[in-house]
């Protein structure tokens, strides 16, 4: 490096041009700090653009309850209890727990009214549709349970269950979230 600077200085002095040489300092490489692993799940729910004020308030409370439950000790105990076997997934309960704990899920909550369906809610392209005809009298924990269930269908979690009811469906990841929320949502 020093030899290069000396050579440049000699050339500058011996050249016809006696303009001062400017040494430009190149920017150093910016090193991004290592991101710490996410310790708490973060579920973000937004009201649809057609939401009423009451709907928007409910969505805020749903978000609080889901995050409070998933990041609590009760959820951890239910997910990591000995002998737990979940259906329709190759992931162990420990892996499912880890995925949910590191999840960053964002979804819009909307409502629809359909008379001839037994569906309480469904997820489609990051929107959860709650059936107004099925949710009358629900508590915030009932809404939070359904929101967490529907969240497990979204990327990066991507858990599923068969459409038809069958013995064992309650132990799929989405339906097990409902069971956990019954115990853990306060």
Q: What is the set of domains in the chain, with CATH numbers?
A: 43-184 (3.40.390)
Q: Are the CB atoms for 79 and 164 separated by under 8 Å?
A: no
User: Which long-range contacts does 70-78 make (Cβ < 8 Å, 24+ apart)?
Assistant: 70/41, 70/43, 70/100, 70/101, 70/148, 71/40, 71/41, 71/101, 72/184, 74/180, 74/183, 74/184, 75/180, 75/184, 78/179, 78/180, 78/183, 78/184
User: Which pLDDT score, from 0 to 100, does residue 17 have?
Assistant: 44
Q: What element of type H or E holds 117?
A: none
Q: Return the pLDDT at 39.
A: 61
Task: Identify the band that residue 11 occupies on the pLDDT scale cut at 50, 70 and 90.
Answer: very low
CB contact at 8 A, 97 and 103: no
Q: Which two tokens stand for residue 44?
A: 């973000």
With bands split at pLDDT 50, 70 and 90, how would you rate the model's confidence at 25?
Answer: very low
Least confident of 17-31, 72-86, 111-125: 17-31
Q: ω before 176 within 30° of 0 (cis)?
A: no
Question: Does this model's pTM top 0.95?
Answer: no
What is the bridge-based pairing of β-strands 121-124 and 127-131?
A: antiparallel
Q: What percent of the chain has a predicted confidence (pLDDT) above 90?
A: 63
CA distance 75 to 71: 7
| Residue 76 to residues 50, 141, 162, Cα–Cα distance (Å) | 36, 18, 26
Q: How confident is the model at residue 41 (pLDDT cuts 50, 70, 90)?
A: confident
Position 119 confidence tier, pLDDT thresholds 50, 70, 90 = confident
């Amino acid at each position: 490096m020093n030899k290069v600077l000396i050579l440049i200085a000699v050339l500058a002095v011996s050249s016809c041009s006696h303009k001062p040489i400017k040494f430009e300092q190149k920017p150093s490489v910016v090193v991004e700090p290592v991101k710490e692993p996410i310790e708490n799940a973060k579920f973000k729910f937004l009201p649809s653009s057609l939401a009423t004020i009451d709907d928007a308030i409910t969505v805020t409370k749903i978000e609080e309850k889901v995050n409070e439950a998933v990041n609590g000790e009760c959820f951890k105990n239910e997910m990591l209890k000995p002998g737990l076997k979940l259906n329709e997934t190759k992931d162990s309960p420990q892996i499912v727990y880890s995925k949910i704990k590191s999840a960053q899920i964002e979804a819009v909550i909307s409502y629809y009214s359909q008379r001839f369906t037994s569906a309480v809610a469904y997820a489609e392209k990051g929107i959860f549709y709650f059936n107004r005809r099925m949710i009358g009298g629900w508590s915030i924990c009932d809404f939070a349970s359904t929101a967490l269930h529907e969240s497990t269908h979204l990327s990066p979690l991507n858990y599923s269950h068969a459409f038809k009811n069958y013995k064992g469906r309650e132990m799929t990841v989405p339906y097990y979230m409902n069971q956990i929320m019954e115990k853990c949502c306060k």
